[in-house]
Amino acid sequence: MSQLDQPWWRGAVLYQIYPRSYLDTNGDGVGDLPGITQRLDYIASLGVDGIWVSPFFASPMKDFGYDVSDYCAVDPVFGTLEDFDQLLEAAHARELKVVIDQVYAHTSDEHAWFTESRQTRDNPKADWYVWHDPNPDGTPPNNWQAVFGGAAWTWDARRQQYYMHNFLPQQPQLNVHNREVQDALLATARFWLDRGVDGFRLDAINFAMHDRKFRDNPPWDPSGRTITRPFDLQRHTYNQSQPEVPDFLKRVRVLTDEYGARFTVAEVAADDPLPVMRAYTEGNDRLTAAYSFDFLYAASLSAARVRRAQGNWLGGAEEGWPSWEFSNHDAPRCVSRWYEGPDRPRFAKLTNALLLCLRGNPILYQGEELGLTQVDVPFEALQDPEAIANWPRTLGRDGARTPMPWADTAPYAGFSEAQPWLPVGADHPGMSVGVQEDDPESVLNFTRRFLALRKTSPALQWGDVRFVDSPENLLVMIRSSGDETVTCLFNLGDVPANIPEEVPLDGALLACSDEDIDFTGRILPPYGFAILGN
């Protein structure tokens, strides 16, 4: 398939923005939509193809926007609907696509739908959420556990029934089996499509349906795994990834196809995510992409992990299309998870280069272009309900959500004039945009150059991928499209790696970790990389 035949999203690089933490323009310590608009020139200068904006909808903020009380309204903390329209227009003027979150598995308990549903067992929305009678002894209907801890059921005195919630009790589970609920969700999607958005990231979409027989989940042997909550002690056979979900996703695709090429990416958190991702993306009648947690919670980065994850997507586009993230708003930043040495910028360049060499859609989380580290947020400053509930057994999500640093000398690193909702990382002002802009060897400017390289390379954007057998810490990945071949070499270890003789090293050096890299001895230095083109 030629470049002209490719939909815009295949191989596109998205930049994820967590709006609470990007830029505060009204002095309340919380980032907002005008803050994103104000920084669009910076985002465009990176060379990404579009932005994914995390939830900005009306919400009580029990889970910071993933508890939606009105799908078609902007929460005042982020601005107004007019602010979003201005952001969309300004992004499109800079040839940036705009992808937004859609949360279809649950709403806030303050959503009007739930307020009506909980009143009686026979009102028009009585079956819009997942309700169930108690067991004869008063206990919940089954053993399902919530992600954030405790049973996935809360008693409601009005209906004298339990309602289900996979996350917080304030996030009641929608009954997406119900066709009326599907229609209502699709109507909210149409609202944003009519405004001009270019796609959706479907949050926790494999949680959208439940087993209608309400069978107990089987236990999961904790041996060899880190256990921080009861949720980790069972296989989630019946409260997620149900076989009816793809039929709903086909309805989503029919809707988005009305608007031309639109990007739809599923977040899939599952015990065995690959079959679920395939089921959600295969063919041309479902979502365009999916991503799982191959890298997001991985404690270490290894060549074997990359080969395994990328190796699941070696076939044609008809088998589905992956997206990749190394860090995001839910997972600790990869530079801190995967590296403890003295040269964090070097390692950040390696991870950014690797992400941008993978076949699929790389998603660069805000601050990754700077090599930002995970922030150790003290207990008294925590905001994340998961972190608070499971402290100190989990890092939680706050450490990856701290304010974006724009300047080293301005108050709060230029994020806000007021104290931010989360503390600025102690080392982040020194890694700020202002500090890195004028340094040609900074992580920021390296990432810009690599994004520009990817944009000129069909092989890196959507080409085939294969691997060459190599020593344990060495990753050798060959990307190819038509007459172009790109050889990607990454040493993911802290000792020099020997490059196998069968790997050709006579191509043009497109990018590398070390200016004086010398392949005479076929050695790649620790945490070194080299990208060679024919």
Cα separation of 79 and 456, whole Å?
37
Query: Which CATH entry fits the domain spanning 464-533: 3.30.70.1060, 2.60.40.1180, 3.10.129.10, 3.40.50.150?
Result: 2.60.40.1180
pLDDT tens, N- to C-terminus, the chain (534 residues): 455 578 999 999 999 999 999 999 999 999 999 999 999 999 999 999 999 999 999 999 999 999 999 999 999 999 999 999 999 999 999 999 999 999 999 999 999 999 999 999 999 999 999 999 999 999 999 999 999 999 999 999 999 999 999 999 999 999 999 999 999 999 999 999 999 999 999 999 999 999 999 999 999 999 998 888 999 999 999 999 999 999 999 999 999 999 999 999 999 999 899 999 999 999 999 999 999 999 999 999 999 999 999 999 988 878 889 999 999 999 999 999 999 999 999 999 999 999 999 999 999 999 999 999 999 999 999 999 989 988 887 768 999 999 999 999 999 999 999 999 999 999 999 999 999 999 999 999 999 999 999 999 999 999 999 999 998 999 999 999 999 999 999 999 999 999 999 999 999 999 999 988 888 899 999 999 999 998
Please, what is the angle between helix 245-257 and helix 273-281, to 10°? 40
> Which amino acid, residue 321?
W
Q: Which two tokens stand for residue 178?
A: 């119900």
Cα separation of 202 and 511, whole Å?
34
Q: Which helix (H) or strand (E) holds 484?
A: strand 484-491
Query: Domain map of the chain by residue range?
Result: 3-105+177-209+244-453, 464-533
Backbone φ and ψ for 5, nearest 5 degrees, come out as -85, -10
The dihedral through the CA atoms of 348, 501, 523, 448 has a sign that is: negative
- Using CA atoms, how far residue 436 sits from 36, 224, 275, 374, 375, in Å, is 20, 41, 42, 18, 19
- Using CA atoms, how far residue 278 sits from 287, 290, 315, 381, 526, in Å, is 10, 8, 12, 40, 36
- Using CA atoms, how far residue 178 sits from 161, 182, 453, in Å, is 19, 7, 47
| Pairing mode, strands 199-203 and 97-103 | parallel
Q: Does domain 3-105+177-209+244-453 have CATH number 3.30.70.1400?
A: no
Known catalytic residues are 203, 258
Cα separation of 491 and 472, whole Å?
9
